[in-house]
Amino acid sequence: MSEQHPILAAAPHSTAAYRDAIAQSSEAVVQWLQQPEMYQGKSVAALRDRIELAFTAGGLGNAAAIERAVEFFLKDSLSVHHPQCVAHLHCPSLVISQAAEVLINATNQSMDSWDQSPSATLMEMKLIAWLRERAGFAAGDAGVFTSGGTQSNLMGLMLARDAFFARQGHSVQQDGLTGDLRKLTVFCSEQAHFSVQKNMALLGLGYRSVTQVKCDAVGRMDVADLTAKLAQARDNGDRVLAIVATAGTTDAGAIDPLREIASLAQQHQIWLHVDAAWGGALLLSAQYRHLLDGLDQVDSITLDFHKQFFQTISCGAFLLKDARHYELMRYQAAYLNSEFDEAQGVPNLVSKSLQTTRRFDALKLWMGLEALGEERYAAIIDHGVNLAQQVAAWIAHQPALELVMTPQLASVLFRYRPTDFTGDHAALGLLNQHIGDALLDAGRANVGVTEQRGVTCLKMTLLNPTVTLEDIQRLLALVISTGEGLPR
Ligand SMILES: Cc1ncc(COP(=O)(O)O)c(C=O)c1O
């Protein structure tokens, strides 16, 4: 039987239903956490056949809907907390982040205007101010929480584009793009995240507007190539809107030489955006903060807390060095962020965001920082980086494995390469691809498959702070035995 009044409110039947639904759901999660498998190993076809929506005339009621979610969703979810779930920058989450979600969801504040999220608006602004300080930016609160790295990168690229046009006296916001658009370009390394390309297409300039700069042997932007390409662009009459540096490339975790790139960007008066979606975690690191040297010299920064900050999805931020650039995206809506409000100093964060309705995801980081404190947060971040180094050292002594690149953050790129392998480069790549697929199909492990410098290899992203070297040695033994069992 469905509830008569399904809305969360003060009425006793509502709060009782809320308690029951939350208790049933959290108990189901506790049960799910006990599942030994990383994944039940169902194929696409098997899952597709199993899953169906039951939208009935009378409704099933909360308890039955939760039971069905357990059956169709939870049981066949990937266990992101499992030690053998290492394919992506996809973190297990903090317990406190779960508690924050309860508060965020129940209150359903919307961050677009003060009158929809009063305390939340101020907490987000204070957290942005704190993050700015950590990054080395001047005091202020220019920045906003975002859905993640892709959106933060979009904000950086959009403001860079519009600031470029504004310097020529043209408002893209008012009048759209103008001039010979084929002359416009942004620079990033060949290892930068694909959201640079996607965002440039979205910004009306296409994938072709992205100029890729070469990387060195460990995947960092090659400053000599950047210098040469900037000179070439000037000679061609190309107009460089932005340089995007990466602090933590998706596969290798490479951090571009930020200080040197910042000095070139300043020299050429080019906007420098840093995609620190992954490496931004080092802002909290005890051992590795120095790797972000130069971050204070840039115009805008992407941070992502649903990576190595261990927050639930989604939770990201965008930091803007000079608050005046926010004028480039201001839109005054009488019902949300009126001039009247703003003249009285009422903060409506819609003015700083591409989104309108927006979750209070900042609470997760806020509560995480308070609950863990500086030392514990640093320890769980540093664990992954240290573990990657230990794993790499171990792999170097395994005859059937080959390290493909020296780890920089918490990822290890390697491949299975038995000593008696006689096939060619492509066959070895395919064998590694098949190992990755076989492990997931069997529900045993999720190991990434990627390509680095033309080599198809496997990737472990070792974010999980509860995982040990022994866990990874077991996983690698599984990689080897899986490889041995496959046809060559
Ligand atoms: C370097 C980098 N930037 C941006 C992103 C995109 O972040 P999101 O998935 O939060 O949009 C990723 C995702 O892995 C990334 O690795």
Domain boundary among 324, 359, 394: 359
Task: Compute the mean pLDDT over every residue in the chain, rounded to the nearest whole number.
Answer: 97
Number of domains in the chain: 2
How far away, in angstroms, is 248 Cα from ligand 1 center?
Answer: 10
What pLDDT shows up at residue 488?
Answer: 80
Do the domain assignments include residue 6? no
- Buried b vs exposed e over 403-413: b needs ≥16 C-beta within 10 Å? bbbbbbbbbbb
Q: Is 390 exposed, middle or buried (0-12, 13-18, 19+ CB in 10 A)?
A: middle
Residues 346 and 374 in one domain: no
Report, as an integer, the average pLDDT of 111-130. 98
Residues 299 and 432 in one domain: no
Do the domain assignments include residue 143? yes
Query: Has residue 205 got a pLDDT over 80?
Result: yes
Do the domain assignments include residue 49? no
**Distance (Å, rounded) from C-alpha 172 to C-alpha 165?**
7
Residue 275: φ, ψ to 5°? -85, 95
pLDDT band at 2 (very low <50, low <70, confident <90, very high): very low
How far away, in angstroms, is 328 Cα from ligand 1 center?
Answer: 25
Residues 332 and 446 in one domain: no
Whether the CB of 148 sits within 6 Å of ligand 1? yes
Residues 285 and 377 in one domain: no
pLDDT in tens, 382-409: 999 999 999 999 999 999 999 999 999 9
Do the domain assignments include residue 85? no
406 lies in which domain range?
A: 369-485
pLDDT in tens, 43-97: 999 999 999 999 999 999 999 999 999 999 999 999 999 999 999 999 999 999 9
Domain boundary among 335, 359, 383: 359
Do the domain assignments include residue 83? no
Residues 175 and 303 in one domain: yes
Do the domain assignments include residue 53? no
Residues 337 and 373 in one domain: no
pLDDT in tens, 3-26: 468 999 999 999 999 999 999 999
Q: Angle at which helices 62-69 and 12-33 pack, to 10 degrees?
A: 20
Residues 286 and 429 in one domain: no
Which of 250, 364, 450 gets mutated to test ligand 1 (max ligand atoms within 8 A of its CB)? 250
Do the domain assignments include residue 238? yes
What is the separation of C-alpha 154 from the centre of its chain, rounded to a whole number of angstroms? 13
Protein residue whose Cα sits closest to atom 16 of ligand 1: 250
What pLDDT shows up at residue 487?
Answer: 87
Residues 409 and 315 in one domain: no
Residue 369 tokens, joined: 């920082």
For position 378, which CATH number holds?
A: 3.90.1150.170
Protein residue whose Cα sits closest to atom 6 of ligand 1: 149
Residues 387 and 268 in one domain: no
